[in-house]
């Protein structure tokens, strides 16, 4: 079957395309691109719409695969598709599936709403090596076991290694260096949620950078708004530029919100967090459970930490100007950091990409559509070494069709999964996966290795 998308405006920054071109899809690939309208079995009239490579979300938290039942528990992958994302990369912040090999194979066998790539989640390595206390230092034997596993997962097609240094205070420089060294053979990326944020962010960034420098690996600073969004962004970005000038391969990602989300029991909320973010308890909103929607008081903070540490919270603590600076920086790509897993939480999982296109591009004119699409397609694809994010002849037909005059995120902290508007259609590997908000095909996505 041949599908043609005629009369749309094609924006494909990876190929430098910004023109009214028509496109044909056949057998999962881009079959033809032409200035003349094309013929096909199915014709889509894309007048007034933008035709873009499907968006790539390089930082999200994948839905779980339940091996016993042989199936995925799908929630976030559907939200990704509804945002116009066609490829999502999980395993971030060092957290993720216990066995990426099994996960990626299952994705190929069963199929998912979007294509899925994985980073090797460091925490999974640690647990499998028998280091179950996050404050504990791993022994050399345990580190060797982790390296063996990491190599195995990289060989199976994982795109890099991710660390959640913040969540595992026991990680030493030796552990970071040794585990990262397994990525050298593949020139794979190392990504991290840094050890600390706010006034401690530069020291933490330097800790990761040192590994990248010594091992000559690409370094990705994860969700920088939530790391340096408290008045440190300018300093961080200048420092990152300096690393680039010195010849190192660095970049970052960011989601377009001034609030982050994490569990009340994590180290993020250890003593001193109010001083670090220069806020009061009321800046933190409870996102689930009986206190959902309420702001913290000192009393509620202690109560939840003691009795329900796995309660998800929303911390309204970042500076708008810092988030803006990060999003606009040429080496920062858009990524959601979305996390659902059946829970209500932060709107970023359902709003990130439409929010950048609606808020930053159309309403506030902070960047062009072309720049924004680059940060969602070609730039992340190149960064993570995947053959995605462009629409030349022969490329995978992962395509997002949207209305640039209407696109807007609708997800809020109250209704965190509300569908965006303005996404007209999404094709995953040439199959129509979403049309006018309805999921047409939920199994077209495969592993990306
Ligand atoms: Zn993180």
Ligand 1 centroid to Cα of residue 164, in Å, is 6
Say if CB 285 and CB 297 are below 8 A apart.
no
DSSP H helices, 137-200, are 140-155, 173-181
- How far does residue 188's CA lie from ligand 1's centre (Å)? 19
Mean pLDDT of the region 101-121: 98
CA of 264 to the centre of ligand 1 (A): 14
**Cα(234) to centroid of ligand 1, in Å?**
20
CA of 432 to the centre of ligand 1 (A): 32
Instruction: Please indicate, yes or no, if residue 3 is contained in any of the structural domains.
Output: no
pLDDT of residue 378: 98
Structure tokens at 157: 């097609």
Residues flanking ion ligand 1, Cβ below 5 Å: 93, 193
Cβ atoms < 10 Å from Cβ of 413: 17
Q: How far apart are CA 312 and CA 413, in angstroms?
A: 12
Ligand 1 centre and the CA of 392: distance in Å? 34
Side-chain half-sphere exposure of 41, counting CA atoms within 13 A: 6
Tell me the H-state helices in 100-200: 100-110, 122-128, 140-155, 173-181
Residues 8, 84: Cα–Cα separation, whole Å: 16
Q: How far is the CA of 10 from the centre of ligand 1 (A)?
A: 33
Q: How far is the CA of 193 from the centre of ligand 1 (A)?
A: 5
Q: State the distance from the centre of ligand 1 to the C-alpha of 333, rounded, in angstroms.
A: 15
The number of distinct structural domains making up the chain is 1
Range of the domain at 192: 54-258+318-390
Domain assignment present for 432:
no
How far is the centre of ligand 1, averaged over its atoms, from the C-alpha of 58 (Å)?
A: 12
The CATH code of the domain that includes 102 is 3.20.20.140
pLDDT at residue 413, rounded to an integer: 84
**Confidence category of residue 401, pLDDT binned at 50, 70, 90:** very high
Task: Please check whether residue 213 lies inside any domain of the structure.
Answer: yes
User: Ligand 1 centre and the CA of 36: distance in Å?
Assistant: 46
Quick one: average pLDDT of 369-389? 98
Cβ contacts of 430 within 8 Å, gap of 6 or more: 3, 25, 26, 27, 28, 29, 396, 397, 444
pTM of the entire structure?
0.95
CA of 92 to the centre of ligand 1 (A): 7
The 10s digit of each residue's pLDDT in 189-198 is 999 999 999 9
Q: Is pLDDT of 292 > 70? A: yes
Residue 310 domain-assigned (yes or no): no
pLDDT class of 343 with cuts at 50, 70, 90:
low
Q: Which residues contact 432 (CB under 8 A, 6 or more apart)?
A: 3, 425, 426, 440, 441
Burial class (CB in 10 A: 0-12, 13-18, 19+), 11: buried
Q: How far is the CA of 436 from the centre of ligand 1 (A)?
A: 32
Instruction: Measure Cα distances from 230 to 329, 362, 405 in Å.
Output: 17, 26, 32
- DSSP single-letter state for residue 333: E
pLDDT at 412 over 60: yes
Contact 62, 92 (CB under 8 A): no
DSSP 217: -
**Domain assignment of residue 339, yes or no:** yes
Q: 297 in a domain, yes or no? A: no
CA of 60 to the centre of ligand 1 (A): 9
Q: What is the mean pLDDT of residues 345-373?
A: 96
pLDDT of residue 80: 98
At 262, is the pLDDT very low, low, confident or very high (cuts 50, 70, 90)?
A: confident
The average pLDDT across 390-405 equals: 98
Q: How far is the CA of 191 from the centre of ligand 1 (A)?
A: 10
Q: 32-41 long-range contacts, Cβ below 8 Å, gap at least 24? A: 32/393, 33/391, 33/392, 33/393, 37/4, 37/6, 37/7, 38/4, 38/6, 39/2, 39/4, 40/2, 40/3, 40/4, 41/1, 41/2, 41/3
- The least confident of 229-233, 309-313, 370-374, 400-404 is 309-313
The whole-number average pLDDT for the span 9-19 is 98
* 60: in domain: yes
CA of 177 to the centre of ligand 1 (A): 20
Question: What distance in Å separates the CA atoms of residue 244 and residue 231, rounded to the nearest whole number?
Answer: 22
* C-alpha to C-alpha distance for 53 and 46, rounded to whole angstroms: 14
Confidence category of residue 312, pLDDT binned at 50, 70, 90: confident
Residue 344 reports pLDDT greater than 70: no
Is residue 341 scored above 80 in pLDDT? no
Q: What is the pLDDT of residue 4?
A: 98
In a domain, 404, yes or no: no
Ligand 1 center to 74 CA (angstroms): 21
Percent of the chain with pLDDT over 90: 93
- In this prediction, residue 361 carries a pLDDT of 98
* Residue 339 banded pLDDT, cuts 50, 70, 90: confident
* Helices 320-328 and 233-245, packing angle to 10 deg: 20
Q: In this predicted structure, what is the pLDDT of residue 342?
A: 56
Cα 448 from Cα 94, distance rounded (Å): 19
Mean pLDDT, to the nearest integer, of 36-58? 98
The residues that bridge with 262 in the sheet, in sequence order, are: 313
CA nearest to 435, candidates 59, 75, 19, 5: 5
Cα 143 to ligand 1 centre (Å): 22
**H or E segment to which residue 15 belongs:** none
238 pLDDT above the threshold of 70: yes
Averaged pLDDT, 119-128: 98
Residue 448 in contact with residue 56, Cβ under 8 Å? Answer: no
Residue 288 has a pLDDT of 84
Average pLDDT over the chain, rounded to whole? 96
Cα 69 to middle of ligand 1, angstroms: 29
């Amino acid at each position: 079957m041949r599908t043609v998308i005629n009369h749309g405006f094609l924006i494909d920054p990876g190929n430098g395309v910004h023109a009214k071109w028509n496109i044909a899809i056949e057998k999962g690939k881009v079959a033809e691109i032409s200035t003349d309208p094309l013929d096909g079995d199915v014709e889509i009239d894309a007048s007034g719409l933008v035709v873009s490579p499907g968006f790539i979300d390089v930082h999200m938290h994948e839905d779980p695969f339940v091996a016993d039942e042989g199936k995925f528990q799908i929630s976030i992958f559907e939200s990704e598709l509804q945002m116009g994302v066609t490829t999502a990369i999980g395993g971030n912040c060092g957290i993720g599936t216990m066995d990426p090999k099994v996960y990626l194979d299952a994705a190929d066998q069963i199929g998912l709403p979007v294509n899925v790539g994985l980073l090797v989640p460091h925490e999974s390595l640690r647990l499998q090596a028998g280091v179950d206390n996050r404050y504990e230092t791993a022994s050399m034997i345990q580190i060797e076991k982790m390296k063996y596993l990491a190599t195995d997962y990289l060989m199976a097609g994982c795109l890099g290694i991710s660390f959640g240094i913040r969540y595992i205070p026991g990680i030493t420089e030796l552990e970071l260096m040794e585990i990262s060294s397994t990525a050298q053979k593949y020139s794979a990326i190392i990504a991290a949620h840094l050890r600390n944020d706010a006034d401690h962010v530069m020291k933490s960034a330097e800790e990761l950078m040192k590994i990248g420098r010594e091992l000559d690996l690409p370094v990705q600073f994860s969700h920088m708004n939530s790391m340096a969004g408290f008045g440190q962004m300018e300093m961080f970005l200048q420092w990152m530029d300096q690393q680039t000038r010195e010849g190192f391969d660095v970049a970052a990602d960011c989601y377009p919100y001034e609030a982050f989300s994490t569990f009340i029991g994590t180290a993020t909320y250890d003593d001193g967090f109010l001083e670090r973010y220069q806020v009061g308890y009321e800046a933190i909103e409870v996102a689930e459970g009986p206190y959902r929607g309420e702001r913290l008081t000192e009393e509620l903070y202690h109560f939840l930490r003691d009795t329900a540490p796995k309660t998800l919270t929303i911390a309204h603590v970042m500076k708008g100007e810092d988030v803006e600076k990060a999003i606009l920086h040429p080496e920062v790509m858009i990524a959601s950091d979305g996390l659902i897993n059946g829970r209500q939480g932060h709107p970023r999982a359902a709003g990130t990409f439409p929010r950048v296109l609606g808020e930053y591009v159309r309403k506030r004119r902070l960047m062009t559509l072309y720049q924004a699409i680059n940060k969602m397609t070609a730039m992340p694809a190149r960064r993570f070494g995947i053959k995605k994010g462009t629409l030349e002849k022969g490329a995978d037909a992962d395509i997002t069709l949207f209305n640039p005059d209407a696109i807007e995120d609708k997800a809020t902290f109250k209704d965190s999964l509300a569908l965006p508007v303005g996404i007209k259609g999404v094709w995953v590997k040439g199959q129509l996966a979403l049309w006018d908000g309805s999921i047409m095909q939920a199994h077209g996505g495969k592993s990306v290795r």
